[in-house]
Amino acid sequence: MDQPQIQHLVNKEMHPGILLMELSKSGLHMLPEDEDAARAGIHLKDKNAEERAILDVAQTLKIFAFQSIKWNQEASE
């Protein structure tokens, strides 16, 4: 590694979350925050719409998994 900012992290074993925090402390931000979007000219997603979409997908997956169970398929015949 030729970058002195992260030389202290080279060949150190650590949890991925700790690595991301240490990289951020060194100036390499891998986990953007809401404030970063404004600086980049990116519009943030609506948090409520995102939450509803996640719940819709989760509900659909539950239904699909339930219908796919071997015993439920045999019961419908």
Residue with tokens 């239904």: 63
What's the maximum distance between 2 C-alpha atoms anywhere in the chain?
Answer: 67
Question: What is the per-residue pLDDT across 2-53, written as a single tens digit (0 to 9) for each?
Answer: 888 888 898 999 999 999 999 988 888 888 888 888 888 888 888 899 899 9
Whether 44 contacts 37, CB under 8 Å = yes
- Is residue 76 pLDDT above 60, yes or no? no
Q: Which long-range contacts (CB under 8 A, 24 or more apart) does 53-62 make?
A: none
User: Model-level pTM?
Assistant: 0.45
Spell out where 1-77 has E strands. none
